[in-house]
Chains A and B, each alone.
Chain A
Amino acid sequence: MAKVVAVTGNEAVANALRQVNPDVCGIYPITPQTDMMQRYASFISNGKVDTEAILVESEHSSMSACIGASAAGGRVVTATSSQGLALMWEMLHIASGDRLPIIMPVVNRALSAPLNIHGDHSDAMGARDTGWIQIWSENAQEAYDNTVQSFRVGEHMDIRLPVMVCLDGFIISHSIERMEYLEDAEVKKFVGEFKNLFPLLDLDKPKSYGPLILTDLYHEYKRAQHEVMTKVKDVVLDVAKDFEKLSGRKYGLFETYRLEDAEIALVILNSAAGTSKDVVDEFRNKGIKAGLLKPRLFRPFPYEEVAEALGNTKAVCVMDRADSFGGYGPLFMEVSSALYHLKERPLLINKIYGLGGRDYMPSHAELVLNELAEIAKSGKIRTYKEYIGVRE
C-alpha cells in the first residue's frame, strides 16, 4: 500500500536510500545535498539501516572510498552537488572504468565562480562524459522513483555501471511536495539482494583492480564501456515496466507531453518541465499545437527515440540550464545530433535559462513558444543560441 506524504526532494531520496539499506555510504556536506545525507546519518544513528557510513574529509575521498567499498563487494551510495561533484571528477571515471555500480543522487547546483549555491545543471552536465548513467527527475516523486530504480539498472549483470540520479537543487531538494512512498518491504523486494561480481574481499580468488593498461588494450577497454552503454536503454525500460507494476507510475527514456501532433515543442529537463507543461496547456487552449519532451535518461542518450518523437514537429527549442561556453548548451548538442539524421527535421533553437537558481517563469516559456510559433510560420530563425530571463 502506497503511503501519501508531504516531503522535500532530499527527504524523499534519503528515504529511498533507507529502504534500499546499502552496505556502505560516503557522507560529506555540500549545499543543497547536505540535508539528504544528514537525514541518512540519523537513520544510521537510530538503527534504521545496517549501513556503515564513511564520514570522509572531502568528496574526492568520498568517491575514492565508495570505489574501494564497491570493489570490496557490496552496495554503495553517496550523494553530492556542484563543487563536490567537480572535486570527484577524476574518480568518477575510475568508478565507471572499474564498472562499479555505485548509486549517487546529484542535487544539481551551479558551479563557481562566482560562488552560487542555487540550482542549475552545470555540475551534472560537466560529468556527462565520465561513463556514468544519468537519470534526471522532475520532482520529489520522480527523484524517489528514479533512485529506487537506479539500483536495478546499475547493478544489472549486463550493465554494472554507476548511476547519478539528478534532481534540482532547492527547487526540488528543499520544496515540500505531495508524493507517495512505497512500502519498505516492496522496495526491498524490488531492488533485491546485491549480487557480487569479482569482490576484492573474496580471498580465495585474489583480484587486482586498477591495472596499468597501455596502447595494446586501453582502446578495447573503452570500446567495451561504449558497448555496455548501448544496452542500458533496454534495461532502463525493463526496470521501468516492473516499477509500473509495483507503483502504477509509468517511466520511459523520456516523457512526452502533448507531443504526438505538436508543431512546436520544448525540450527541457527536470523541474522547469513542470512549469512548461502548464504553459503548453495554455497554448493548446489557444489552438496552438504545442508540446514538450522531458529527457529522463541523459546518459546514454536515446538518440533514435528522441528523433522519432520530435521528427514531425516544425520548430523545437532546446532549453539548457547549463552552458558549454563558446558552444551550444549540452542538451541542445544531443538533440541536434539526434535530429541530424532525419530527412526532414524541425528548425532548432537553443535557450539558456535559469543559471544559478534564476527563476524560470511561465512567462519565459510563453516567450519561447511564441518565438517557435513564429519560426514555424516563417521558417526563419532570428538567433540560434540565446540567454533568456537576463536582467539588462
Chain B
Amino acid sequence: MATLNLKELSKKEDLLTHGHRMCSGCGAPTVVKMVLLATEYPVIASNATGCLEVSTCISEYTAWKIPWIHTAFENAAATLSGVETMYRSLKKQGKIDKDIKFIAFGGDGGTYDIGFQSLSGAMERGHDMIYICYDNGAYMNTGIQRSSATPLGADTTTCPAGDVIPGKLRARKNLTKIMAAHNIPYAAQASPSHWMDLMKKVQKAHEIPGPKFINILSPCNRGWRSKTNDAITLSRLGVNSCYWPLYEIENGVTKITYTPKDKVPVADFMKPQGRFKHLFDPQNAELLKRVQDEVDAEWAKLQKEEKCG
C-alpha cells in the first residue's frame, strides 16, 4: 500500500475531470476524486442514476477518464457485478491479463432504498468490487425527497416541516452495519473532511479480495440548504458530533478510526443547515433532543462494539 503524501497526490491525474456539471460546492465530486486518487490500479466504475451520474456524463461529453457505465437507478451493483464477472470469465480463458479493480458509485436513494436488493445480492455473491455510497441524505437529483438515509427531523420536499408534522419522523437506516451484517470482509464509513482516513480505507479495501462497502458522507448545499463553501466544514461537524462516526468493520471486527477529542453537540452540525431550521423553534425542542439522544445512543453502541472486538 502506497503512502498518502499530499505532494505526491497533487501530481496525480484527476480521473473525474473538471467541467462536470455538479453544483458548485457539491460534496460528491470531491468524494469521487478522493476515492479515485486512492486507487492505484486500472479501475472501471459503474454509477447509479442520481446527481453524480446525470452531471458527469451528458451526451457527447464525459468527465470520466476511466471506463464508466450507467444503466439505471437501482442496479449499480448488479451492473458492475456483470462487468466484473465478464472480466473473471475472460481472465480464466486467458483472453485478458491485466489486474483491474471495480468500483460502484450510488447515492443514498440508489443504495439504501431502491438499489438495496441489487447491492445485497452482489455483496452476497462475493464479487470483487468496492461499493461506494455517497450519502447526501435525500433524493437530491429529483429535488430533495426523503430517503431512508434522511436524518431524523430533516425537512425535505416529501416530508416537509409543516404546522403539524415537523419533517422526517423516522431515524436513519444504519446501512453500514447492515452491509457488515452480510459478513463481507470490509465495511466502513468515511467523510471527505478526513481525507487521509477516507483514502486509507479505499486503499485498504482495494487490497482485500471480495465485496467491500464504504459509506461516505457527501454534503449537498442545495438539499441541506447550506453555504456553497462549507461542504468540508459540515462533514467535519458531522464527524465531530458523532452524527457520522468514522469506523471500519474488517472481518467482523469493529474499529473506530477517529474519535473526536471534543464531541460537539449535533446541533452544531445542524444549525448551519436550512433543512433543520425548524428544529430550533421552541415547539420542536423535544424532537431536537431526540436527535441528540439517538446520536449518543448509536455512538455508545459503536464504542461498545469496538470494545467487544
User: Which B residues lie within 8 Å of A52 (CB)?
Assistant: 85-86, 88-89, 92
From A24, A60, A206, B74 is in contact (CB under 8 Å) with A60
Complex Cα distance, B248 from A186, in Å, reads 54
A68 within 8 A of B: yes
B79 within 8 A of A: yes
Complex Cα distance, B88 from A213, in Å, reads 31
Are B79 and A23 touching (Cβ within 8 A)? Answer: no
User: Which B residues lie within 8 Å of A74 (CB)?
Assistant: 86, 89-90
User: Which A residues lie within 8 Å of B100 (CB)?
Assistant: 201, 203
28 A-B pairs (CB sep. < 8 Å): A23-B89, A24-B86, A24-B89, A50-B93, A56-B81, A57-B120, A60-B74, A61-B78, A64-B75, A64-B118, A67-B82, A68-B82, A70-B82, A72-B44, A72-B82, A74-B89, A98-B71, A200-B44, A201-B67, A206-B67, A208-B62, A208-B64, A209-B68, A210-B70, A212-B58, A212-B59, A213-B59, A214-B59
A61, chain B: closest CB distance, angstroms:
4
Add 13 more A-B contacts to A54-B81, A61-B122 (CB < 8 A).
A54-B125, A61-B78, A66-B82, A67-B82, A69-B83, A71-B69, A72-B86, A98-B71, A200-B44, A201-B86, A206-B67, A211-B58, A212-B58
A62, A64, A202, A209: most-surrounded residue (chain B CB, <10 A): A64
Within 8 A of A (CB), among B18-69: 42, 44, 46, 53-54, 57-60, 62, 64-69
User: Which A residues lie within 8 Å of B64 (CB)?
Assistant: 206, 208
From A57, A67, A201, B90 is in contact (CB under 8 Å) with A201
Complex Cα distance, B115 from A66, in Å, reads 17
B207, chain A: closest CB distance, angstroms:
20
A349, chain B: closest CB distance, angstroms:
41
User: Which A residues lie within 8 Å of B46 (CB)?
Assistant: 68
B116, chain A: closest CB distance, angstroms:
11
A182 within 8 A of B: no
With CB as the reference atom, state the residue of chain B lying closest to A97: B71
A51 within 8 A of B: yes
B266 within 8 A of A: no
Complex Cα distance, B121 from A55, in Å, reads 9
Complex Cα distance, B206 from A63, in Å, reads 27
A94 within 8 A of B: yes
User: Which B residues lie within 8 Å of A76 (CB)?
Assistant: 82, 86
With CB as the reference atom, state the residue of chain A lying closest to B54: A212
Complex Cα distance, B83 from A212, in Å, reads 20
Are A206 and B68 touching (Cβ within 8 A)? Answer: yes
Given A52-B89, A201-B87, A68 and B78 contact (CB-CB distance below 8 Å): yes
A98, chain B: closest CB distance, angstroms:
8
Within 8 A of A (CB), among B81-125: 81-90, 92-93, 96, 98, 100, 117-118, 120-122, 124-125
User: Which A residues lie within 8 Å of B92 (CB)?
Assistant: 50, 52
B165 within 8 A of A: no
From B59, B74, B83, A68 is in contact (CB under 8 Å) with B83
Within 8 A of A (CB), among B204-226: none
B72 within 8 A of A: yes
Complex Cα distance, B54 from A69, in Å, reads 22
From B75, B86, B120, A91 is in contact (CB under 8 Å) with B75
With CB as the reference atom, state the residue of chain A lying closest to B76: A64
A65 within 8 A of B: yes
Are B75 and A61 touching (Cβ within 8 A)? Answer: yes
Within 8 A of B (CB), among A10-52: 23-24, 26, 50-52
A113, chain B: closest CB distance, angstroms:
22
Complex Cα distance, B86 from A51, in Å, reads 9
B187 within 8 A of A: no
Given A57-B120, A60-B75, A208-B64, A65 and B69 contact (CB-CB distance below 8 Å): no
Interface string of A194-222 (1 = CB under 8 A from B): 00000011110011111111101100000
Are B69 and A211 touching (Cβ within 8 A)? Answer: no
A17, chain B: closest CB distance, angstroms:
15
Are B65 and A206 touching (Cβ within 8 A)? Answer: yes
A210, chain B: closest CB distance, angstroms:
4
User: Which residues of B come within 8 Å of A, CB atoms?
Assistant: 42, 44, 46, 53-54, 57-60, 62, 64-72, 74-75, 78-90, 92-93, 96, 98, 100, 117-118, 120-122, 124-125
User: Which B residues lie within 8 Å of A98 (CB)?
Assistant: 71
Complex Cα distance, B86 from A202, in Å, reads 12
User: Which B residues lie within 8 Å of A230 (CB)?
Assistant: none
Interchain residue pairs A-B with the least CB separation, the first 5: A68-B82, A57-B121, A65-B82, A72-B86, A210-B70
With CB as the reference atom, state the residue of chain B lying closest to A68: B82
B54, chain A: closest CB distance, angstroms:
5
Complex Cα distance, B198 from A324, in Å, reads 54
Complex Cα distance, B71 from A67, in Å, reads 8
A66, chain B: closest CB distance, angstroms:
6
Complex Cα distance, B91 from A23, in Å, reads 11
A90 within 8 A of B: yes
With CB as the reference atom, state the residue of chain A lying closest to B61: A211
User: Which B residues lie within 8 Å of A209 (CB)?
Assistant: 68-71
Are B121 and A56 touching (Cβ within 8 A)? Answer: yes
Complex Cα distance, B72 from A66, in Å, reads 13
Interface string of A72-114 (1 = CB under 8 A from B): 1110100000000000001100100010000000000000000
Are B57 and A211 touching (Cβ within 8 A)? Answer: yes
With CB as the reference atom, state the residue of chain B lying closest to A213: B59
Complex Cα distance, B96 from A207, in Å, reads 18
Are B67 and A68 touching (Cβ within 8 A)? Answer: no
Complex Cα distance, B54 from A207, in Å, reads 16
A326, chain B: closest CB distance, angstroms:
29
B309, chain A: closest CB distance, angstroms:
31
With CB as the reference atom, state the residue of chain B lying closest to A94: B71
Complex Cα distance, B59 from A211, in Å, reads 6
Complex Cα distance, B65 from A339, in Å, reads 52
With CB as the reference atom, state the residue of chain A lying closest to B44: A200
Are A210 and B69 touching (Cβ within 8 A)? Answer: yes
Given A201-B67, A210-B69, A212-B54, A72 and B120 contact (CB-CB distance below 8 Å): no
User: Which B residues lie within 8 Å of A90 (CB)?
Assistant: 72
With CB as the reference atom, state the residue of chain B lying closest to A221: B59
Complex Cα distance, B61 from A214, in Å, reads 12
From B54, B59, B72, B117, A58 is in contact (CB under 8 Å) with B117
Complex Cα distance, B80 from A209, in Å, reads 12
Complex Cα distance, B118 from A213, in Å, reads 25
User: Which A residues lie within 8 Å of B86 (CB)?
Assistant: 23-24, 52, 68-70, 72-74, 76, 201
